[in-house]
Homo-oligomer: A and B are copies of this chain.
Amino acid sequence: MSEPDKTQADMIAIDWGTTNCRASLLATDGRELDTRRAPEGAGGLQSSEFEAVFERLVDGWPDLPVWICGMAGSRQGWREAPYLSCPAKLADLGCQITRVTTASGRTVRIVPGLLYRDLRNNSDIMRGEETQIAGLLAKQDDFSGLVILPGTHCKWVEIQDGMVLRFQTFLTGELYSLLATASILRHSVSAHEADIPADHPAFLEGFLDVTSGRVPLVAGLFQIRTQDVLNGAQKDDSAARLSGLMIGAEFEAAKSGGWLEGTQDSFIIGGRGLTPLYEKACELVGIKSQSVFGLDASTKGLWYLAHRQKITAG
């Protein structure tokens, strides 16, 4: 990569999650001029340690507005950026930021997470995903529809005219990973859900077994082990079935939560591995979906929030 033309630079966007951190130097039009990564995720840092990691990360970059999303804004993060309650207009997230000024004089803006409380007083929270969704609005700021963000803690989010009405978190990715690496199934299943082809017959069968009600999730898990003990199943086939069961249980729960009613437009924001599995799952329940790559989405989201902010403040 040739030296970026920093004279065009306009802002610094940082997605600081639990396990890693990625900073981008953005041009006025949102193009990435330069990108750097740090291995220090927010999950492994004390509050007092964030500033040093940050200064190393942006060292040599111009003194521009810095926008951060993700777990760096949690109570155990750099500085707590309090949750905004739903319904919440995504474009307004940029007006509710928490500021930190570093010893070197840089001003850092941390984006708030979102909180949703349902009628039964059950709560749900997100931090980082709200900015990825804001990235969608950079292109279409009156977007209405369903957004699914697959991952360790998958989120289903209902948007109306650029406003988050409600959302729900499913532990699907974390459960898959625990079962595949730490349970009795680890002997029978390959660990990388991201490598499963979305048209794998065992994925489809597992998904349909659960969503049709034929096999409840908790009944289907031990069968994977039994098939292997008795018939020597392939680890990749067993992994595909496990993923089908897990994502099937998520879609089944989403259905009972009213998430599939009248759904028309939907976006999937995620990594390159899980997204095709969720696209296939959407197709199987009759939802038309488009996909967006997650890291691009959070960078675009920070750019969108920063510029809406400028316009609003203008």
Contacts and interface: CB of A to CB of B under 8 A. Distances in A.
Interface of A: 75, 115, 120, 122-125, 152-153, 168-172, 174-175, 178-179, 182-184, 213-214, 216-219, 221-223, 226-227, 229-230, 246, 249-250, 252-253, 256-257
Interface SS of chain A: helix, strand, loop or mixed? helix
B171 A213 contact: no
A184 to B, nearest CB: 6
Given A123-B230, A124-B226, A171-B183, 17 more contacts: A123-B223, A123-B226, A123-B227, A125-B226, A125-B230, A169-B226, A175-B175, A175-B179, A175-B183, A178-B178, A178-B182, A213-B256, A216-B253, A216-B256, A217-B217, A218-B250, A219-B253
Contact of A184 (B171, B182, B184, B216): B171
Contacts of A168: 219
A250 B216 CA distance: 9
Nearest to A117: B230
A286 B304 CA distance: 57
A181 to B, nearest CB: 9
Contacts of A170: 218-219, 221-222
Contacts of A226: 122-125, 169
A230 B115 contact: yes
B179 A218 contact: no
B183 A222 contact: no
Contact of A219 (B153, B183, B227, B257): B257
